[in-house]
Amino acid sequence: MSLSSGSHPAHDADAERSTARAAVVLAAVVVALDQGTKLLAERHLLPRHTPHDIIGDVLRFTLTYNPGAAFGMHLGEASRWVFMVLTVLIVGFLIRLYRSLPTGERPLKLAIATVIGGAIGNFVDRIRSPEGVVDFIDVGVGDVRFWTFNLADTAVSLGAACLVLMLWRFESRLHAQQAAAGVPGAAPEAGAAER
């Protein structure tokens, strides 16, 4: 899965190193912000399950612990270990995906780094506490509330949305390039030529 850029190999190597550094820094910043806000939440949002209004009742900070996964998914006593193993597998897959992408796909690689940073942030919680992941961002109106979440969840959700969109556009460009080069069975998808 590669797109020919036609650029100089030395320039490509420099660009790839720059992207890799940016990806590592981005993932580290996500983890640091996530863990920092969680420590503040644990210190200042006591007692648990007590809402602290930030913007009326639309945005509240409410300290909770989630032993399962996002959006309340729970597998009983095994949840902590199952989700730790799943996190390792998902991060491993994302690292392989990152490495398979050609030079020049910087936004796509940074989206992957954002998801990895969020996944590691919640993974750290599961390692340090049997109670599970620290959640505290509480959004809703009155009694109609979204699931309580954290910055790591936000990074995973936004990064994954960008990742899906950019992978779709990447595949469309790849099919269009292969079709232009006469590769059999590589007819571009409808509308790919316009993107």
Among candidate residues 34, 125, 138, 153, the one labeled active-site is 153
* CA proximity to 23, closest of 150, 108, 100, 121: 108
Of the chain, the end-to-end C-alpha distance in Å amounts to 18
Cβ neighbours around 162 below 10 Å, total: 17
The total number of residues written for the chain in this structure: 195
**Residue 135: active-site member:** yes
Asked whether 158 and 111 are in contact (CB, 8 A), the reply is: no
Largest CA distance in the chain: 65
**Residue 14: active-site member:** no
Among candidate residues 14, 135, 138, 143, the one labeled active-site is 135
* CA proximity to 19, closest of 118, 114, 110: 110
Residue pointed to by tokens 């899965």: 1
- The catalytic residues are 135, 153
